Structures are given as C-alpha cells and as structure tokens.
Chains A and B, each alone.
Chain A
Amino acid sequence: MVPSDEELCRQVAEHNAAAFETLLDRHQARAFRIACSILGSEADARDVSQDAFIRVYESAGKFDGRSRFSTWFYRIVVNLCIDHKRRNKWWRKMVPFSTPDDDPETPPVDPPSLEPGPEADAIRSDSARRLRSALDGLSPTQRAAVLLQTEEDLTSREIAEILECSESTARVHIHRALAHLKKTMREDR
C-alpha cells in the first residue's frame, strides 16, 4: 500500500530518511515551480524550495494533521516566498532586476521554437515580457494568489487555506491582481 503524504510526514518526524526522500519525489517539482512563479528567479526558487523542505525535515512533528500535508507544505513554500520578496524589496528598487539578456553566458529561458515561426515567437515573447513586468507590480500575496490559481489550478478555497485567509479574501486578492495585470499590460503596449 502506498503511504499517504500525512503518514510519510509522521515518519519524517521520527527521522525516517526514506520517507523524506519519498516526499521529495512527490513534491519537489511543484514546490520549485510555485517558488519560481512567485519569485521570478530560478536561483531564488531553488533556495527557497530547498528551505521549505528543510523546514519539513526539522518541523515535521509540528504537522498536526488538521489540513492535508500538501496544504501545510505549500503554505510553507508560499510564506517563504512572500518573506523573500518582502525582504529583498528595498534593494530590488535600487539594483535593476537582471535578465538573462544581461549575461551572454546564460542560456535563454525561452529558446525560439522553429515551429510557429519567428513572428509568433516575438509576439509571445513580448507578451511574456509584459506579463513579468506587470507581475512585479503586484504585492507578494496577490502574486501568490493569482499564480496558485492559474499555474497550479487550485480553487479559491485551497488558495485561502494556503494563504490562511477567508475564501472571499482570496478572491479579492485574485481580482485585484488580475485588474492590475490587465491595466499594466494594456498600458505597456
């Protein structure tokens, strides 16, 4: 029988290394993807998602089972991302956010595909650039809410559980984020 996440977490609390490895197998990709979406940086996403697993390893005994393990764990990931965004806000205003274009040795994140043609690529790349720029203007919580809904396909209720707020508050965060993105992306054209 395949052990549940909750059972594995209980075993991690007893320092079971194999259980920790299984939780890593199950959740590492999603944790990294969520962190990368919220932080907009692969390096930061790597650090923050690893920190989230370290928290699980050290605090597994505190998981009380009142929510699902995934809700508890993604709450840790999102909170670490929000903390990271807030902590680095002051210097991000002073130091321009680096892009892969700044470093010629960095491979392009979005290598041009031969299939749709260069024009379609340019349009897609331009809309991605405008999106990233608009996402930077969101508060960390708004950003997390809209990205959890869109990229992780979570419901408002699940997002509310992760953000530790009411469902209506989660919907307000998502609405404000979308309204801001709509306005900013239109102005940026």
Chain B
Amino acid sequence: MLAASAPVSLSVPDIGLTTPLLSLGRDAKGEAEVPPGEAGSPAGWYKYSPTPGEQGPSVILGHVNTTTIPEGVFYRLHELKPGEQFSVSRADGSVLVFGVDRTEIFQKASFPTLAVYGNTDRAEIRLITCGGYEPSTGEFVENTVVYGHLLSSTK
C-alpha cells in the first residue's frame, strides 16, 4: 500500500478507455457529486475516499451515458471481467496497476453502502457507473460496481 497521492487519470485498455479524473466532493444532500453529463466528460475520483493505492476503497465515478449521445465515459464498464487489469496515474508520478475482482449490479433503491464503501484490509478501488435503463421514465435504476485491488505500482 502507498502513501496518499491524488489520481489524475484512469486507463482501462480492455474497454478502450483513457480518461482524466475530476475531483468530486459531496452535494448539499451528502450524496457524491458526479461529473458533468455532456458527451466527452471525464470520470472523477470521490475526494473523500482513499486515494488509489492507499488502504481502503478508492471510489471512481463515471457516467454511463450523456445528455446527447448514449456513450458516457463508463458505458462499457460492465464488460470488465475478473482478472483484467487497468491502471491509475497519480499526481506523484506513480502508475498503479489494479486487477478486477468482480462486478456487481445493485438496485439503486437498495444500494448497499458499506458493501461498496466499507473498510478494506488492502488497497482497493471501485469503478462505478449506472445501468438498468428504464425507458418509461428515462432513468437508470441500477448501479454497476467494478471491484478491484492494487497489484503493483511503478514510479
């Protein structure tokens, strides 16, 4: 596990994705902020979670769609398979490789906060987007959560 350093970009070759990372806080209701909804918007790191590489669940959020086109930054996130790898570059110049442990899909109405954001024994990461598009309302009713853990780092 590593000392804190904010993440600056995320690269997930298996789904053809490279994105810079915004810094996301919380809104007035205490919910995590999300990146802008327009096409081309990057993903973001929830700044009150551990930085990638630190012990605990580092949280990265990205939209599944956009205000104009269906392809948001994480629209292919659900394709990731256990064992596949992705990397995070941090402000201190380090590049961290994470391995996918599993993908879980949760109904938003029963989102299991501690199962996703709870303490962990090692440096872990959560890549989170939405799913379960409901045509009758235009809303997404599920969250897709990719669980990963730190494999190695280089600087």
Q: Do A and B come from one complex?
A: no
Binding site for A on B (CB under 8 A): none
Residue ranges of A at the interface with B (Cβ–Cβ < 8 Å): none
